[in-house]
Structure 1
Amino acid sequence: MIVYGSSLSPYVRKTLAFGAEKGLVLENKVSVPGSPDPEFLACSPFRKIPGFRDGDFQISDSSAIITYLEALHPEPNLIPPDPKNRARAVWFEEFADTIVVAAAGPLFFNRIVGPRFMGATCDEAVAAKAENETIPPLLDYLEGLIPTSGFLLEDRLTLADIAVASPFANLGHLNFDLSRWPRAKAYAAAILARPSFAALVAKEARLLGG
């Protein structure tokens, strides 16, 4: 099974970590910037990452890939079978994918991706707005709901934790100050310290010169 895309993307990182927590070996292929891999384009004609291939099956989008992996390898279950907690897991994934990433994306792009990989000038006004206005309310939300168990659902690791923790790696690469949110900071650090994430995050830090 092949996952296409750099793990600097929270979506790619989430997919690779999910597979690792399943005990799966997922090959990760990263295209050279500006030269998309034809195999990736076959999986993802609209260039949405990650792309995915398993034999003759190919698809894109992290949620679609994770749904496939969960159905193909149901144990250990990472999407709770309980109807309410399954719905909550889907909500937390949506929260991470469409709300947190949307808020943090402009900061990560302007401070890291644009200047380092695309020769773009940082739009500091956009970055500062994300840092000071858009992201903090989301961290306030998380700070108020993280259980003492350190897991969002069922006192165990689920897709909810994998999805929510993934964007925190990007905040870490940005040296984002999380001191106002100690519970969220400790929660994310613990999830990102798991072997499924740790090697990915370390590799990304080396790529960024950290």
Structure 2
Amino acid sequence: MLTGMHRLYHYPLSPFSRKVRLVLAEKKIDVELIEERYWDPSTEFLRLNPCGRVPVMKYDGRVFSESNAICEYLEERTPQPPLMPRTPEDRAEVRRLVNWFDDAFYHEVTKNLLGERVMKKVTGAGYPESKNVKEGARRIKFHLDYMAQLLDHRRWLAGDQMTLADFSAAAQLSCIDYISDVDWNRHDVVKDWYAKIKSRPAFRSLLADQLPGFPQPTHYANLDF
């Protein structure tokens, strides 16, 4: 466990913040969570990260930004419990899937659904574009189908052990689930996988998140959803 002063500047429905929060909680690293309205960043926050993106972690005077850099730092600093496999080949597969969810899933699904339905209102950026919402609803089916293909042959997304790839996927999906835009009946294997992740102690703080003006759906924090 890391010791000293740890702070995580985050936003509750940022999937990249959520990924780091999952890693911190899984490794039992206590941090002070500081909510940052990154679209209207404070001067202090811009000093920490001039590009104005969350998450940012401050650890004993050192500042780390970009979710994957933070997660891999934590993995190296606190290797137990492991979230990266042992072999270079297996680690490459984890990194491929992390990039898949951080890039393809985020831009095709999260940005089109959460971004349009929630973040535009929160940030005062205007009204949802229906074509983007429809595109997000269409693309999430493809991603759920791909996850089902992986899970038909693997216990977890990247193999037989839970890894950062699972947290990356769960971080994105948990944001979409907050607005009830995941069809959990599409694939039982994907629903079962999410139920395993959702029931972990590391997930509890995510299930407690409340965004003003956007109440949780009734199933969101229910482990037997």
Q: Same fold (TM over 0.5)?
A: yes
**2:32 equivalent to 1:27:** yes
Partner of residue 10, structure 1: 15
CA distance in 2, matches of 1:164, 1:80: 17
TM-score by length of 2: 0.84
Structure with more helix by fraction: 1
Query: For residue 176 of structure 2, what is the aligned residue in structure 1?
Result: 171
Cα deviation per residue 1:108-129 (whole Å; 9 max; x = unaligned)? 1111221245262111121112
Question: Tell me, what secondary structure is at the counterpart of 1:53?
Answer: strand
Q: Which residue of 47, 51, 61 maps to 1:46?
A: 51
Question: Across the two proteins, how many residue pairs are aligned to each other?
Answer: 209
Matches within 5 A, 1:2-151: 2-32=7-37, 35-104=40-109, 105-118=111-124, 120-132=126-138, 134-147=139-152, 150-151=155-156
The residue matched to 1:59 in structure 2 has which SS? strand
Task: Give structure 1 regions of 4+ aligned residues with deviation exceeding 3 angstroms.
Answer: 32-35, 147-150, 204-207
Which deviates more from structure 2 when the two are superposed, residues 59-68 or residues 172-181? 172-181
Between the aligned partners of 1:40 and 1:33, the Cα distance in structure 2 is 8
In structure 2, how many angstroms separate the alpha carbons of the residues matched to 1:58 and 1:52?
6
**Closer, same or farther: CA 116–37 of 1 in aligned 2, 3 Å:** closer
- 201, 207, 224: which one aligns with 1:201: 207
Give the equivalent residue in structure 1 for 2:220: none
Root-mean-square deviation (Å): 2.1
Length-normalised TM-score, structure 1:
0.89
Identity %: 26
Superposed displacement of residue 73, structure 1: 1.0
CA displacement, residues 155-181 of structure 1 (integer Å, 9 cap, x when unaligned):
332111111111111221121223222
Gap runs ≥5 in structure 2: 1-5, 217-225
The superposition leaves residues 85-127 of structure 1 with CA deviations (integer Å, 9 ceiling, x where unpaired) of 1111111111110111111211111112212452621111211
